[in-house]
Each structure stands twice: as structure tokens, then as C-alpha cells.
A and B are shown apart, each in its own frame.
Chain A
Amino acid sequence: MNSFIAFIMGPMVWISAIIFVGGLLFKGISIIQSVRQKEPYIFSYMTVKHSLRSMGAWLVPFFPKSTRLRPVYYAISYLFHILLFVVPLFLASHIVLINEAFQVSWPALNDGLADWLTLLVIAALIFFAVRRQMVPEITYLTSAIDYLLILLVLLPFVTGFLAYHQWFAYRWMVVAHVLSGELMLIIIPFSRFSHMLTAPLTRAYMGSEFGNVRHARDW
């Protein structure tokens, strides 16, 4: 058992990080290669200017029309995506670990604030799950995998929160936290989580079609 825990807390962290980065990298490269082979026309229409125009428009909160039609969902979703990166990357205890490994560090969030932000992330994820139940058009699209994806993100945040407070079974909670974090990283390149890579690409292409060919707005 101890050797299993040692593996989870040690080499597995590296393995999952490599799968996450390598998987996304591989996916990105294979997309570009595949575009070259099968759909080279995509490069004929893509322009940096219109790609950035479209991405920029969609990064400004409530600028696109559809985001104004679903303001609550959009606001929560927007905040969630920021916190999803900010909380783990600027958490003091994570920075300490990275400092031990690489001798680099950066300013950390105040622990109390990070604690609240973690609760916000958890609340947002619960909101997403409830929304899947409550809004008919979302329910219609939802399958079990959508809840599974929510669960996969929820786990590291919940276990991290519990581990920080050391309310019970601290040792096991840390193991569960690390394990679920690793699981999430590993799943990203192989699931719809990979929209972190593909969404900017589809956005850029549609933005280019609208800006470059259609001379119209796409927001």
C-alpha cells in the first residue's frame, strides 16, 4: 500500500503531467498535419487579424449577443474558467511543491482567499450539474458522460478543500486529491476537455470565415 501511495505522490505526478502536455501537443500537431493533408483550404481563409478579432470579441464579458441571453450561466462559466486555472496555479501549497522540485516560485494567493475561491469553483460545478437537470434544452443534450466530466473536475477541488482543512483522514484526503488531480490531467487530451485546445482553433476559423469572407460579425 505504501509503495502505491509513494507511486501516486511521486512518479505518477510526472507521468500525468507528461501525458497532459504531451497529449495536447500531439493532438495539436496531428490536427495541423491533418488540415495540411485533408483540408488545406482552411489555411487559405484563416487570417491572424480576423482570428484575433473573433477571439477578442468572445473574451469580452457579455459582448457577444448569446452571452447576454444567458447571463447567469455565462457569468458563472466565465468566472469558473478563470478560477480553474488561477486557484491551482497560485495556491501557496502547490507553489511550495513546485519550488522544491524546480527552485522557481511566484506570488501565492492568500490561503483564506484561495479557500473561498475553491468553494466558488465547487459551487459553479454543482450549478453546472443542476443546470443540466433543470434547463430542458440542456437536459435534452446531456448524457451520463457530461456528469462524469463534471465529477472529474469536482473531485480534485473537493478533496483539496477537505485536505486543507484537515477535518478528517488528512493523509488519505491528500492521496485522493493528488490521484484525482492526476486523473483529470490525464483525461484532458482524450475527452471533450480538449476544448481547451480545439475551441480557440474553431473560434479562429469561424472568426476568419466571418471576417475575411463574409465581412460580418460573428458575435
Chain B
Amino acid sequence: MQTQDNTMTEQSRETNDMKSEKATDPAIESGLKRLTPERIQKTINQVLEKETGPRFKAYVETCMRCGMCADACSFFLSNDRDPYFMPAAKVKNTIWEMLAKKGNVSKDFLRQAVRISHLECNVCKRCAMYCPFGIDIAYMMLLVRRICHKLEITPQYIQDTVNSHSVTLNQMWVKDDEWIDTLQWQEEDARDEFENLEIPLDKVGADIMYSVIAPEPKFQAGLIYQAATMMHAAGIDWTMPSTPGWDNSNMAMYTGDNEISGRIARAFFETAAKLRVKRIVMGECGHAFRSVYDIGNRWNSWVMPPFEVVHALAFYHELLTEGRITIKEKYKKKVTLHDPCNVSRGRGLHDKARQVVNMVCEDFVDMVPNREHNYCCGAGGGVINCGPPYKNERMVNNRNKAEQLAATGAEVLIAPCHNCHSGLEDIIHHYDLKMEIKFLGDLIYETMEKKIYTPGK
């Protein structure tokens, strides 16, 4: 395994950052150029005073600088326990400073604040489990991103996905006809296996609305094929919307563009309402689940989502335990499972996931730590969406994940989340781990009986 010496002094780190920032992120640099000290101060104070409340105040006033959060953070662990990367240090270098200076901070400070909040924190909330007081540092990092958004210094690549959301209501600039076209293409292909297979569009009153994130039609259309096969084989009354609102992803949630984030979630729920479905089932994506289960509903004033939102992991569990899908022959290779933060720490689906893996695979080995305590993929929380310019540092900042994966000795890594999947694929290549990476759906599709479920049989 490659290891890189990344013990840097404070100074060399700063100069490094400045260089790479200038070379790589024109959005941040041009945004900073436009800022005036007055606007910086006004914006910071507006967000910290008007958009927060007693919760934020309690977090700031309660932290006793005990350092117990340090052990939670992948960035800290991957960088040889460099204090700069510990969760509380991220608050010190952003929020505490903003409060101390009453918002009167420099552009260099802001350049660093963008970096800390967008690239050096996955908002995975592992540290909230390590703080004796339950202080939510991810919440404060999202506040910093909110400030960056209002100052228009969000990193370029992730801002582009938000622009796409704003225009098309999906993350990847997928056009309305391309979306329908892709679904029909997958339907046609899947008819090789099931003669009468359909991907029913806009079927009002169906039991289930199936929804995916935009990267699926854009470059992973095979996942829609697999899902359609499973739905068909399991005899599910399902539908997919043909109109915008089909995409459950939400990058605006991670840039602090709460207004667009709210619009996305609202369009999504309204689409389900229009189709009068009973439940929403979604593909293997973590952040999208967070958006519709935890964040988007709140912005739109629902305490809990207005529809039952079922993540793929829970849905697979249902299909397999109800016998709607049967496994022909269990998968032979040694597999391990990565618990994505948003469905494990975010929804407690880790035990169901293990049951599914054991129903599908012969040889399962757990990684350590696991379940809520699993190490982050390093890609989530919008970090991977900041794009290729930051890939190298992402690899360095997630060394502990590579070590954790290597220790399992597994041949196949199951990552039931799109962000985790992409991030871990990069990790596997960078650290030259001899591992294949798969979605759980890939394995179910591969091992299931390709026959149609009939009740009572």
C-alpha cells in the first residue's frame, strides 16, 4: 500500500493550499475578487445572527476543548493525527474566528474557510458521536458553506451541479427527453430477460414510485436496468415519473443553497403526490436519502417526510424476506460491506444491510470499525463533487479508509451509496487494493432467480 508523507508544517500547508487554490478553482478566486470587507462582514453576521439560534449558541458556548472529537475524523486519522484536521479545529479556524472578529475576516481567511468546510469535512457526523456533549460540528460546517454560498465563493464543480439543479431540477443537466429516452432504452434492453418487462411511466396510483439520482441516467443506466428487473421479477406495482422531480439527489443541500435545496425536495415530493403513490423507493444513494428523509422535508416544514421513503437497502431486505426475490446461488467471493453515513448513522439500516448481504453472499467479512462507527468514504458530503482538482488530496485525506479496507482481505467491496461508491473506487485504485467494488443491487441482480414472483408459490 502506498503511503504518503503528509506531515506538513502549518506554513508549508498554507503555501501549498494557496498554490493549488489559485491553479485549480477559478470560482473561489473570482468570487473572492468581487468581495468587499463590508459585504463579507454583513453576510457573515447575517447568517450567524439571523439564520441560527440557541442551538448554535449552545454549541459554541458548550465546547470545553477536550479533544475527544479528534479520533472520530478520517481526515485527522489519515493525516498522522495532525491537529489541524480535528473536528473542533475546523470550528476554531472558521466559526470561532468569525465570531471573535464579528465577521470582519480577510479574504485569505475565507479561502481557507471554503477549503475547510467544503474539502476537509464530509459532514458525516461521526464526531457528533464522539463528543460527550453531542455537539454537531457538521451543522456548523454547513453554516460555513452557507456563508460561502452567500458570498459566492463555492467551489466550481459543485456549484455547477447546483446550477443544473436550479435549471433542470436534476443534478447532471439531463434533458427531459433524454430522461424518458434512457428509461425506454433500459426497458428495451431488459426485455431480453423478461419478455413483458415495463418501466411504467407516470402510472397514477401505483404502490411505489422508484427514484434515482441523475448520474444513473447520465452514465450508469445499467443500474436502472437492474432495478427494473428486480421490480418486474418481484411483481411490484411501480412507476417512474417522466417529468422533472424524478431526481432525488440534492447538491444544493451541501453548498448551503438552502432555497434551491428546498425547491428540489419539494418538486420531488410533489411528483410523488401527483402520482398518488403509496411509498417512494430509491436507489443506492446516501446523500439523496439524507435530502428527502432528513433535510429537504424540514426545509419544506414537514417534521418527517410526507411520504414513506424507503432506501434500496431496506427495500432489498423486504423483497428477500418476503420471498418476492429468491437467490438462485449465493455469491461465492469474499465480500465486505461499507456502511454509508447517511443510511447507517443517518437511518440505522446497517443491520438490515448485513442480513441482505448474508442472504446473498456466502462469505461476508465485516470491516472494523463498522455500523454507525464506520469510517467515512471521504467522498460524501459534497467533497467528491468539488471535482477532479481536489482528487489527489482526497486520496491522502482518506488513507485510513484504505487501511481499513485492506485489513478485511475481501475480494469484493459492497458500497451501497453512489458517493461512497465513486470515492472508494478512487481509493482502491490509488492505494492499489486488489478489490472489486459493487453495489448491493449488482450482487442481487447477479444471483437472483430470473423468474416472476407469484403469490403463494
A interface residue numbers (CB < 8 A to B): 31, 34-35, 37-39, 41-42, 44-45, 54, 58, 64-67, 69-70, 73-74, 77, 135-142, 146, 192, 194-195, 198-199, 201-203, 205-207, 210, 213-219
Contact = CB atoms under 8 A, between A and B. Distances in A.
Interface stretch (B61-69, B109-117, B259-267, B440-448): B61-69
Given A34-B54, A35-B53, A38-B54, A205 B134 contact: yes
A137 B89 contact: yes
Contacts of B69: 66
27 contacts: A34-B53, A34-B57, A38-B53, A64-B129, A65-B129, A66-B130, A69-B68, A70-B68, A77-B66, A136-B81, A137-B86, A138-B67, A140-B86, A146-B65, A194-B61, A195-B133, A202-B134, A203-B132, A206-B128, A213-B304, A214-B294, A214-B345, A215-B348, A216-B346, A216-B347, A216-B372, A218-B128
Interface in B17-61: 53-55, 57-59, 61
B376 to A, nearest CB: 15
A45 B81 CA distance: 35
Question: Which of the listed residues B55, B59, B71, B89 has the most CB atoms from chain A within 10 Å of its own CB?
Answer: B55
Nearest to A208: B134
A201 B129 CA distance: 15
A69 B71 contact: yes
A201 to B, nearest CB: 6
B409 interface: no
A137 B129 contact: no
Contact of A217 (B83, B130, B369, B372): B372
- Which 3 A-B residue pairings sit nearest by Cβ, starting from the closest? A206-B134, A215-B348, A38-B53
Contacts of B89: 137, 140-141
A65 B129 CA distance: 8
Contacts of B129: 64-66, 210, 217-219
Contacts of B132: 58, 64, 66-67, 199, 203
Contacts of A139: 83
A129 B110 CA distance: 32
Given A58-B132, A140-B83, A66 B55 contact: no
Contact of A216 (B131, B136, B344): B344
A157 to B, nearest CB: 18
B134 A203 contact: yes
Nearest to B129: A218
B72 interface: yes
B92 A141 contact: yes
Given A137-B89, A141-B67, A206-B136, 16 more contacts: A31-B58, A45-B303, A64-B129, A64-B132, A65-B373, A66-B68, A66-B131, A77-B66, A141-B89, A195-B133, A201-B58, A202-B134, A202-B135, A205-B55, A214-B348, A216-B372
Contact of B71 (A54, A70, A210): A70
Interface string B331-352: 0000000000000111110000
Given A65-B129, A141-B89, A218 B66 contact: no
A203 B59 CA distance: 10
A195 B134 CA distance: 12
Contacts of A215: 347-348
Contacts of A218: 128-129, 134, 372
A86 to B, nearest CB: 20
B278 interface: no
Interface of B: 53-55, 57-59, 61-72, 76, 81, 83-84, 86, 88-89, 92, 128-136, 294, 298, 303-304, 344-348, 369, 372-373
Contacts of B303: 41, 44-45
Nearest to A204: B134
A135 B65 CA distance: 12
Contacts of B88: 141
Given A34-B53, A199-B132, A192 B61 contact: yes
Contacts of A217: 129, 372
Nearest to B369: A65
B100 to A, nearest CB: 10
Nearest to B93: A140
Given A215-B347, A215-B348, A198 B61 contact: yes
B298 A41 contact: yes
Contacts of B92: 140-141
B62 A214 contact: no
A214 B303 CA distance: 13
B130 A198 contact: no
Given A41-B303, A139-B83, A216 B348 contact: yes
A77 B67 CA distance: 13
Contacts of B131: 66
Nearest to B65: A141
Contact of A137 (B83, B133, B304): B83
A196 B145 CA distance: 30
A70 B132 CA distance: 12
A64 B131 CA distance: 10
A70 B63 CA distance: 17
A192 B170 CA distance: 45
B56 to A, nearest CB: 9
B55 A39 contact: yes
A140 B89 CA distance: 7
A203 B133 contact: yes
B71 A31 contact: no
Contacts of A210: 129
Contacts of A216: 344-348, 372
A29 B329 CA distance: 62
A138 B71 CA distance: 12
A214 B346 contact: yes
Contacts of B372: 216-218
Question: Which of the listed residues B64, B76, B89 has the most CB atoms from chain A within 10 Å of its own CB?
Answer: B64
B246 to A, nearest CB: 25
B83 to A, nearest CB: 4
Contacts of B71: 66, 69-70
